[in-house]
Amino acid sequence: MFLLGSVASQDPPAPPTPVSYKTVGPAGSGANYICDGYNDEAEINTALATKLPVHLKPGIYNIGNPININASDTIYKLMADDLTNWPQLKSTSGQPIISSTNGKFEISNVVFNANNYVSNCIRVLASADGSSIHHCVFMGYTSTSTSNWGCGISGDSGCAIDIYSNNFIGSSGVHIYMVGKDPYPVPGPTNGVPTASTVFYAKIHGNIVRNTGAMTTIANSPAFSLKYCHAWQNTIISHGNKGSTVATSSGSGINACRCWIEYNQVYGCGQSGIIPTSFGGLRDDCYSWIDHNICRFNGSCGIDYWYSDGCKVTNNICNDNGQCNDVNAYADRVGIDIQNYSKNTVVSNNECTCVASTITDSILTHPAGQKYITVQAINRWQEGMLVRIVYKTVTEWNRIDRIDASTGYIYLLAVPGSAAVKGATMSGVNLQMVGIHTGGSTTYPANSGGNHTGVQNHVWNNVYSNIGRANVDDSDLTKSILPLNGAGTGPSTFVWPAV
């Protein structure tokens, strides 16, 4: 109740809301820090120095020197201000776009463009424990040799980093090169093989690599090169250079040393799908577990061993590899190849077969002089497949380079000839020569390995043989094979899980 002439009491005004982040943007964006299009890392570094999260306004930021993350008492955050319009950080000098020397960070919703330099988009130089990189796009980095890689994300100092839900496109470099921390420096009761309870210190999951284009002929240029990592549910499609021989092909899917590699899909790479290998050429430096992966239509092998000891290869599907069709390299066109300087491997519950020839279709159009065609059922096909095109008495061979689902175009490596007309038949080709291959080198018998154990594998319908054993080897996997349909001939039809 108010008396006549009294003044109503009022609550004091609320204090201003504290600023919870800083913004960086181009002219006219209204950001706290305005960039001029030249060495825009200066404004971004100034904003990061406040130790508040930094939001980047939409636009292209030209980066001449690295954006630095180097304080251990701060969690740096760099992200898009508008999640519907991501900013692009573009290299103008070949320097890393972001360099982390000592600090914890989170980077999300940013496009990184190395601008065709042999460079890294993000370089992790020292401990970044607890950091994460997610929902970003990486492109534009290249490689010139096996020792001069450009990378999307690179780190070799060991850190507990989480890299997930990123897209890597249109580049010929290595997308993720990561060395975590050794979770088992001394082999224990499991002989160093990781188990479900093993703690890994770098996590790589839910990332997509697709249509990365032609690469220079670099034999060891994988999409992911990992040590002490747990990699799961990544999809790698069409990475590398699809040559007509193993020597002219390049680009494997995942190279792994002391890693747990599970539930990944690796399709149509220039060389092999997954390579358990040592980093230093020491056979006893591997101890990886390769489990529940799908490797299909890769140029060489599905899973291909190099200098590996004590690995487990379980529950994988390695079908229709060897798509480079190298007639002089049947031992490099294998579902699971454990013949190269490797020993003491457990191979169980895997499937290795050929069913590509059951995939058929009809061509609808082929514009003259173009590399692309259209077909009736584009969803039947995958990048990397060798295909046979037949019209009347004319037969041609070609290989699928990439598929553009938005236009319905299937791009081939070479311009098709006279057989590629409306109504022509196109089919896949069975090219995986051996299902599981063991053996070694007669030149270096001491390094040839052996002692592999196979249990309950399904291996059938491979072109040359289901099980191969070459040169020096004391393994016998033939008794581990489970025939399908009682006769080992396999089912007449095959339903393949969609990518």
pLDDT tens track for 419-452: 999 999 999 999 998 888 876 554 445 555 567 7
How many C-beta atoms surround the C-beta of residue 185 within 10 A? 10
Beta-bridge partners for 360: 427
Same domain membership, residue 438 and residue 310: yes
Does residue 288 belong to any structural domain of this protein? yes
* β-bridge mates for residue 427, sequence order: 360, 388
Report d(CA 314, CA 454) in Å as an integer.
Answer: 10
Token digits of residue 486: 């009682």
DSSP lists the bridge partners of residue 22 as: 54
pLDDT reported for residue 42: 97
The answer to whether residue 235 sits within a structural domain is yes
| Within a domain: 81 | no
The pLDDT, as a whole number, for residue 473 is: 52
CA–CA distance, 230 with 256 (Å, rounded to integer): 10
83-92, 125-134, 264-273 — which is least confidently predicted?
125-134
Shared domain check, 389 and 274:
no
Give bridge partners of residue 309 from the DSSP assignment: 343
Q: Which strand (E) or helix (H) includes residue 75? A: strand 75-80
Domain that holds residue 292: 180-355+434-499
356 DSSP assignment: G
Checking if the pLDDT of 293 tops 80, the result is yes
Q: Phi/psi zone of residue 376: left (φ > 0), alpha (ψ -120 to 50 degrees), beta?
A: alpha
* The pair of three-digit structure tokens given for residue 366, joined into one six-digit string: 């082929």
Which of the pair, 240 or 84, is modelled with greater confidence? 84
Residue 66 lies in a domain: no
pLDDT in tens, 323-369: 988 777 777 889 998 876 677 788 899 999 999 999 999 999 999 99
Considering the domain architecture, whether residues 421 and 451 belong to the same structural domain is answered as no
* DSSP 8-class letter at 407: T
Same domain, 454 and 482: yes
Flag whether pLDDT at 233 surpasses 90: yes
Residue 377, SS3 per DSSP: coil
User: Residue type at 117?
Assistant: Y
Residues 394 and 247 in one domain: no
In a domain, 16, yes or no: no
Distances (CA, A) of 426 to 139, 262, 366, 372, 497: 33, 33, 13, 13, 21
Residues 351 and 368 in one domain: no
Token pair in block for residue 322: 């060897």
Number of domains in the chain: 2
Strands (E), 349-492: 351-353, 360-365, 372-375, 386-391, 394-404, 409-412, 425-428, 434-439, 449-450, 453-455, 458-460, 465-470
pTM of the model: 0.88
- At 60 the pLDDT is 97
CA–CA distance, 304 with 338 (Å, rounded to integer)? 6
- CA-based end-to-end distance of the chain: 72
DSSP string, 159-194: --EEEES-EEES-SSEEEEEE---S-SS--TTTT--
- For the chain, the average pLDDT equals 82
Pair 377, 271 in one domain: no
Please give the angle made by the CA atoms of 202, 204 and 206, to the nearest 5 degrees.
155
Measured CA to CA, the distance from residue 208 to residue 310 in angstroms comes to 29
Quick check: 134 and 165 in contact, CB under 8 A?
Answer: yes
From 380, 397, 428, the end of a domain falls on: 428
Residue where one domain finishes, among candidates 428, 461, 479 = 428
